[in-house]
Structures are given as structure tokens and as C-alpha cells.
Structure 1
Amino acid sequence: MTITDTSPASAVSAPAEQTWTPRLWGVLAVLCAVLFLDGLDVSMVGVALPSIGAELGLSTTSLQWIVNGYVLGYGGLLLLGGRTADLLGRRRVFLIALAVFAVASLVGGLVDNGALLIVTRFVKGLAAAFTAPTALSILTTTFQEGPARNRALSVFSVFGASGYSSGLILGGLLTSFGWRWTFLTPVPLALLALVAGIALIPRDRPAAGGGHDLVGAVTLTGGMLLAVYTVVSAPERGWLDPLTVVSFVAALALLVGFVVTENRVRHPLIRLGILRIGTIVRANLSIVALFGSYLSFQFMMTLYLQDVLGWSPLEMALGLLPAGLIVAFGSPFVGRLIDRYGTPPLIISSMTSLSLGYVWFLATAGNAPHYTVTILPAMILLGGGFAFGFSSIMAQATDGIDDSEQGLASGLVQTSGQVGAALVLAVVTALVAGAAHEGGDFGGFHPGVNLVSAVAVVGLALNLIPLIRTTRTSGTARP
């Protein structure tokens, strides 16, 4: 922000730039370690699925719930997790959830029953639903809004991408020794982060006057869990199956009941007025476009490269690695760009880069595609799009929000990302499963890539149209 008034009064009222002390760096390191663990865990387990199925005798249907069980707990409870941190204290909620994550990881690496393994994945997703928004709200309340927060968010996003990229490669290596190591490896890392968090994260007070909205908590949690369950199970059961339709209706009824409750209770769990802020609404829709298209495309690439082109898991990981490296090395500079240009231009650049990446892949993929011609340029464009988009969207989703509602804003944007990604991935899975893809022909994946391209283009339009309107209005008002 540029300050044009240089009078003494203005200088006194302007906040001083925040000093980055060693303790502040330590808090950021703990928060980044937890985000890194989340990305690491998801990608490592994904690589290990074939080995898990072979040892425990799990069918493909059962195997998908090792992934979807995590998504169910994570996406279904994110909003509750973020608001609970505001009401009960961020430090307390963060540390308890991190301890649960470590225990669930340990149990998951020791069980010999597929059903129990799926339960541990649900519990880990539940724990992540509390650690993820709480970590982001601790970050946004610890670092002052402006350059300090933008810089911290940039570093934060680096570790998320690094965790996912590292997990692909580390998962391939650990699986060669046994799939259980993909569950056990996060345990000591989580315990180390827990000890550091106890020592470094400052104590905070719960939000004043929060009250207890029990009906809101029950209807929100039930509605979100049922909605996510319906989305991830619909491709297998069928979108028009009676049980799917009933589940959708029941989830909608619970969520409508939640909205009615929040408008009537004295101390609502979630202040719905936050959804009237245009920048926050656009940030939440943008994260749907970012996560939904990016994660769905990576899902299709894992099938295409391994099942169609015959690549090994390690070869696949190395092939997708450039995108993760660009995010890891490019994200630290995004904070400076946000300070200079604001979030809207960067989000538009992100959606443009993502759209070009998908379109390029569609235009050049076919029988026996050349890596340097087809895959590498797409990975570069997608990595740049994610690097620009993630930090910018997170900054826009939490800017201007009071500290007492930072957990709510953080949980809201992360819920949008997870549920949006689950919805897009479910549709993509149905499209890919319904198409034949034999030999080196990419044709069976065209419907899925067409969908993710359309999602990115819609995300671009949602951000570009308001900017054009603002520019026209400014031009008209100019004398």
C-alpha cells in the first residue's frame, strides 16, 4: 500500500513493519511442517495403493476409500475445524489435532485389516480438518496484514507443494521396502512438530462472546459429511441411483437447516454475512477452480502415464516434478507481487496459465506423445498457475477479516478447495471410467481434460469480469 500523506499524524497511525524474530520464524516453520506433512501423506499413500491392495486383499472399490476416507473427514469438517479454533483457542485445537494425526498415522502403519485402515484414514482427515484451517488462522493472526503476511503465505504455500512433490518420489522409494513405511514415516515428523509447537506457538484466548451453537454444529457437520460422502461415492454407485439422490436431498436439507439456524441464534457458529464480501466469494470460487482442475488433471496423468504409457511410479513422479519445483521456487516471490499489484491480477494470471496448460496438453497429446513437447510445457504452465494462484487466493480470502474470524475465513476457503476438488474429481473419474483408453491413445481422457479446462476458464472469467467492470467504472469517473 502506498502512503501519500507524510504528515506526522499519518506516520504515527501507520503500523510499523513487523520484525521477523527467530521465534516468529520458528512458528512459521511449525505451521509449514504440518502443511508439508499433509501433502506428503496424501501423495505417498496414493503411490502405495497397489501394494496395499495386494497385501490386504482389497478390491479397487475398497482401495478408493483409503483416499476418499481421508477426503470425507477432511472436507466434511473443515468449516467446523476453523470455527472451533476461533471459539476454543487456536493453539489448543492445533496441538490436539496434530497429536491425533500422529497417533492415526502410527495405527495405520500397524493394522492388518482393510476396514481399520480406512477408519484411520478418516481419523487423519478429521485431524487435518482441524490442523489445516487452524494453521492458516495462526499464520494470519501472527503476521500483520500486508507485506509480512503475504511473505509468510508465500513460504507456507511452498511447503504444501514441496510435500506433495516429495511424497510422490518418497512414496515410490518407501513402497519398495513396504507400504507400511508410507504410513509410519510421518509419525516422527508429526511428533517433532508437536513438541516444537508446544514450545513456540504463543497462547491465545478464545473469541469473546462466541456462545455455543450446538444445532448449527450438528447440522453443518452432518450436512458437510453427507455431501462429501455423496460426491465421492456417486461415480461408483451412479449419479441417478436412488441412494445417491436421497443422500443429496438429505445433505441439502441439513445445510438449509444450518442456514436457518445461523440466521436465528444469538451466537451463530458461522456469521453468514462474511459471504456478502465479493472478494471473499471470488476467492472461494477461485480455489475451487484451482484445486478442482489441478488435482483432477494430476489424477488423470497418473493413470495415463502408468496404465497407458507404462511408466513406473518413480518415472511418473519425476515427470510431474517440474510443476512442483516451480511452485516451490516460485511461490516465495509471489508475496512481493501481491504487495505491488494486489491479488486480482495474480489470480487472473494463475487461471490464464492453468487454462493454457490444459489446452496445450489437449492440442498436442495423442499416440506416443513426446515428453518435451507435450508434458513438460504443460507442467511448466500448471506449476506457474498454481504458484501464482494459491498464495494470492489465500491472501484475498483472509484480507480485511477480524482476528476473531480468521479461523472461519481460513476454514471456508479450504473447505471450498477440498469439496470443490472432490466434486470435479468425481465427475472426471466418471468421465474417464466411461471412456476406453488402450495402447497409447489419449482419446479416452479427452472428456476429463475438457472438463478441467472448462473449470479453469470459468475461474478466469469469474475474476476477469469484475476487474473489467472496475476499470471501466474508473475510466468513466475520471475527469
Structure 2
Amino acid sequence: MVLLIVLTLQTMLILDVSVVNIALPDLKVALDFTPTGLSWVLSSYLLTFGGLLLLGGRAGDVLGHRRGLLIGVTIFTAASLLGGLSDSAAMLLAARALQGVGAAFAAPTVLALIATHFTDEKARAKALGMYAAVSGSGAAIGLIGGGLLTDWLSWRWVLFINVPIGLALLITAPMFIRETERKPAGFDLGGALTSTLGMTALVYGFIRAAESGWGDALTLASFAAAIVLLVVFVFIETHAKQPITPLRLFADRNRATGYLSLLFVMAAGNSMFFFLTQFLQEVRGFSPIQAGLAFVPLAVLILISSSVAAKFLPKAGPRVLTAVGAAAMSVGLIWFAQLSPEAGFASAMLGPMLIAGLGMGTLLVGVTTILMSGIAPEETGAASGLLNVMQQIGGALGLAIMVTVFGAASRGAADEVPAGLDAKGSADFVLTEGVTMAFAWGAGFTALTILLTLIMRSVPMGGGAEQGAEDAPEQSGSPTQPVSSL
């Protein structure tokens, strides 16, 4: 029952991005979102989730992980209900941000409760294997589920579906999960708030620039606020006794380049899902169910390629896997950048989907191993938490940059619409031009990841291809199995 409860929670949190993704075109019409403003439906969740994730993990240590789970699920469930009842864009975005707060408190408890309730090594290994399977298949389940809910009911049910699940968790968790030992620690509220607000201001600046241009006063003010807040954040973290973000982890060359690589791949991956969803439904006329099913090959390839890459990891080494994965993603995104309004799914989209999925799964295994190698035992939790933070924050920031590219390309395309197109044809042309430009920039980001692998140090893999390579003194630990983060 403990395993069922925590895996249900993990599934709910994993699904919340992909299940909403499929409903984006319906959301845009229902709540009158602008094409660029629509990205906030994802970014508002990712920013609060990522920005407060380390604080949520600390809260679980201090208050007890069962209590942390209950607090997080309560907030998440209430926010889901509020989101489903939304009658304006502002109300929905507030609900999505609140969902992120709940997720930040609930998500860190999953692995912690598995560790405390499954003390036998074999039982714990089985539990972690099921956790990895849920995490890996969650995207595909969310895409299909989101399509079914949106098509058969309405977009509101991609949010309402969390309410009965959340209530079931709140009832059963106190019955079957024992409270964990509390650990005294401080709360770095200043660091958590300044980092979250700073990243939000930065993302807002990019999205505002997409709508109003780089010379807009509010755009410039947002970037200025972001700089001030992030500088204050760094100051707080360098002086705090118990900082929420251990900045010393960035001092290592491998981890600094690894975090940047992770940002690039999340930027490319999130934008691929975001823009393809709209292209399939708005340009090609797919129903939400059809759009969800169209993404299944991509999600399956991510899962398969990550498993295969993990087996090749000892021989090839994480740098090679990262470079190969980034190259495959670049090829897939360049292929996507050739889309036209008349593009067929089988002839023009299935191929790049499979290649991009192959690359993403391979790259994530490589970069996760790089980030988690050589970590001192007492810093494993902080490093793992920071990796997850970078996934969420990187996804939000990368999507904002891509939306800026999309907005600029769309405005330019509006002045170059071919003669003879009707209103639908003109709209399809403009959206396609913006989408393909975003894909081209995504390919540029993944290509930069290949260059980053050239300045990474080799990671010893116990007799593999990179064994014996020059390494830093602190690189003495063994790499942590990366599958759970996928």
C-alpha cells in the first residue's frame, strides 16, 4: 500500500505537464490566450515547482516526510480544482503556479518514503524499479489521457482528474504511511523566494519581448528585476548557514557544463512538445486524442533509448552518450524545421519524432551520470535535488526563449503571407513559420551541447572506455544510476 500510494503520487505529478500540453489549443480558445502567452500555462507550474523544490525537500526533513506529502497533496488538489473552475487566463495561471507549490512539497517525499519503508535491499530495488517505470512512462500516459479527457469531456478535466486522486491519497496516506524522523534544519526562505521570483521575472521578460518587442519598457523592467533578484539570491546563498542551493556544486567544470547541457536539452524538448501539439491540432486538424497518440512513438523511444543507453554506459562513457544523444536530437529538430502546413504525419513527422526520442533518452542518461558522478555522500541529496530543479527551471526558461523566437518569426511571416490564401491558410502559414523557426533554434541548442562535451572531463566508469582518463581530485565517487531522474 505504501508503494501504491507513493507511485500514484509520482504518476499524478509526472502527468501534470504532458496531460495539460494536449489541451493547450482548447485552452487558448476557451480563455483567450495569446499564442505566446499560452506558454505560461506550462511555465507558471514549472517555475514554482522548480524554484521551491529544494525548499520542499528541506520541509520534508524538518516536518516529516508524511506530513510533507499531505501538505503538498492538499495544495496540489485544491489548486487543481481551482484550475478546472477557471473562467479567465489569470485565474488558471494562478492555479497552475499553486499546483507547482504543491508539487514542490510532495515530490521530494516519494523517494524518501521508499527509502524509509523498504529497508530490505531487494525490496527497495524492486520499488525503485517500479518508480523508474512510472517516471519513464508517465509522459506517454499523460499525452493519451489528456487527449481522451479533452476530446470526450473538456480541457477542464485535465485538471479535475487530480481531485479524486488527491483525495484518495489524503485518506490513505495517514492510514498506511508511518511518519519519518524529523531532522532539525533551517529554512532558507530568502534564497527560495529570490531565485523563484528572479527566474519568473526573467521568463516574463522573454515572453513580453515576444509580444511587445525588446524596447518595451515592461520588458526592460522585467530583465532588470531579474538581474537584481538573482544577484541578491547569489549573495544570500553565499552567506547562508544552510543555503537552499549549494553553489559550490557549480564550481566543478563537469557539473557546470552538465547543468548547462541539461538546460539546453530541456529547452529543446519542452518546446518540441509545446509547438508540435499546436501544429498537429491547429494546422493539421488532429483531434486531442489523435495528437496524444501521435506523441506515443516519441515517448516510447525515450524510454527504450534510456534503457539501452544505460547498458552501454560503462563502455561508451557519459560524454559519448551525451554527444551522440545531442547529435540525434539536432537531426530530429532540423528535420522538424522543414515542416510545411501540408506536412503529413507519417511522411514528415514520425521520422524526426523517432530520432529525437532516441537522442533525448540517450542524452539524459549521459548528462545525468555526469552530474551525479563524484558527489560526496553527504551532498548526494543536494545534487539530486538541484538536478531536478534544473530540469524544471531549464524547461521554463528554455520555453520562454523559444516563444520569443516563435513570436518574432510569426510577426515576420505575417507580412509575407503568399497571395491567394484564405484566412485559415494564412493563419496556418504564420504559425508554421514560427514553429519551424523555434525548431531550428532548438537544434542550435542541442548542437551547443555537443560542443560542451568537448570541454567536459572524462568520468571513470569502472573499466569502461573512459577509465583512467584525467580527472579532478574530487571525482572519486561512483556514478549514481540515472534512470530514476528520467
TM-score by length of 1: 0.78
Which residue type is aligned with residue 390 of structure 1? L
Residue ranges of structure 1 left out of the alignment (5+ in a row): 1-22
CA distance in 1, matches of 2:363, 2:20: 26
Residue 267 (structure 1) aligned with residue 242 (structure 2): yes
Alpha-carbon contact 1:158-1:329 (below 8 Å) kept: no
- What pairs up with 1:325-340 in 2 under 5 angstroms? 325-332=300-307, 335-338=310-313
Secondary structure of residue in 2 paired with 1:296: helix
CA distance in 2, matches of 1:353, 1:289: 14
Residue 424 (structure 1) aligned with residue 414 (structure 2): no
Deviations 1:212-239 (A, max 9, x none): 5454444334434433444444423433
Q: Match for residue 16 of structure 1?
A: none
CA change 1:330–1:444 in 2 (3 A) is: closer
Alpha-carbon contact 2:458-2:469 (below 8 Å) kept: no
Say which of 450, 454, 457 aligns to 2:440.
Answer: 450
- What pairs up with 1:286-305 in 2 under 5 angstroms? 286-305=261-280
Which residue type is aligned with residue 286 of structure 1? S
Which residue type is aligned with residue 285 of structure 1? L
Q: Match for residue 235 of structure 1?
A: 210
Q: Match for residue 251 of structure 1?
A: 226
Root-mean-square deviation (CA, aligned residues, Å) is: 3.9
Say which of 318, 328, 331 aligns to 1:356.
Answer: 331
CA distance in 2, matches of 1:147, 1:167: 30
Per-residue deviation at 1:399?
4.7
CA change 1:95–1:327 in 2 (3 A) is: farther
Alpha-carbon contact 2:402-2:438 (below 8 Å) kept: yes
Say which of 190, 206, 221 aligns to 2:166.
Answer: 190
CA distance in 1, matches of 2:434, 2:138: 30
Say which of 382, 387, 391 aligns to 1:408.
Answer: 382
CA distance in 1, matches of 2:307, 2:130: 6
Q: Match for residue 374 of structure 1?
A: 348
CA distance in 1, matches of 2:302, 2:106: 22
Q: Match for residue 178 of structure 1?
A: 154
Per-residue deviation at 1:30?
4.4
Alpha-carbon contact 2:14-2:138 (below 8 Å) kept: yes
CA change 1:184–1:451 in 2 (3 A) is: same
Per-residue deviation at 1:56?
5.3
Alpha-carbon contact 1:287-1:393 (below 8 Å) kept: yes
Say which of 32, 39, 46 aligns to 2:21.
Answer: 46
Alpha-carbon contact 2:263-2:394 (below 8 Å) kept: yes
- Identical-pair percentage: 33
CA distance in 1, matches of 2:140, 2:5: 19
CA change 1:412–1:236 in 2 (3 A) is: farther
Per-residue deviation at 1:100?
1.5
Q: Match for residue 281 of structure 2?
A: 306
Per-residue deviation at 1:453?
0.5
Which residue type is aligned with residue 184 of structure 1? F
CA change 1:140–1:360 in 2 (3 A) is: farther
Deviations 1:113-143 (A, max 9, x none): 5543332221102212333345456668889
Per-residue deviation at 1:68?
3.7
Greater shift after overlay, 194-203 or 227-236?
194-203
Alpha-carbon contact 1:44-1:168 (below 8 Å) kept: yes
Deviations 1:385-423 (A, max 9, x none): 222233554454345546654453233222222222222
CA distance in 1, matches of 2:367, 2:125: 11
- What pairs up with 1:15-30 in 2 under 5 angstroms? 26-27=2-3, 30=5
Alpha-carbon contact 1:40-1:166 (below 8 Å) kept: yes
Greater shift after overlay, 290-299 or 278-287?
278-287
Per-residue deviation at 1:455?
0.7
Residue ranges of structure 2 left out of the alignment (5+ in a row): 418-424, 472-486
Q: Match for residue 34 of structure 1?
A: 9
CA change 1:86–1:252 in 2 (3 A) is: farther
Deviations 1:339-363 (A, max 9, x none): 665544433332232122223334x
Alpha-carbon contact 2:52-2:192 (below 8 Å) kept: no
CA change 1:83–1:231 in 2 (3 A) is: farther
Q: Match for residue 357 of structure 2?
A: 383
CA change 1:458–1:334 in 2 (3 A) is: same
Q: Match for residue 17 of structure 1?
A: none
Alpha-carbon contact 2:457-2:470 (below 8 Å) kept: no
Deviations 1:295-319 (A, max 9, x none): 1122222233233333333332222
CA distance in 1, matches of 2:30, 2:470: 68
Say which of 426, 448, 452 aligns to 1:462.
Answer: 452
Per-residue deviation at 1:195?
5.1
Alpha-carbon contact 2:262-2:367 (below 8 Å) kept: yes
Which residue type is aligned with residue 104 of structure 1? A
Which residue type is aligned with residue 264 of structure 1? H
Which residue type is aligned with residue 409 of structure 1? A
CA distance in 1, matches of 2:348, 2:294: 11
CA distance in 2, matches of 1:57, 1:217: 32
CA distance in 2, matches of 1:259, 1:157: 33
Secondary structure of residue in 2 paired with 1:369: coil
Greater shift after overlay, 330-339 or 317-326?
330-339
Secondary structure of residue in 2 paired with 1:466: coil
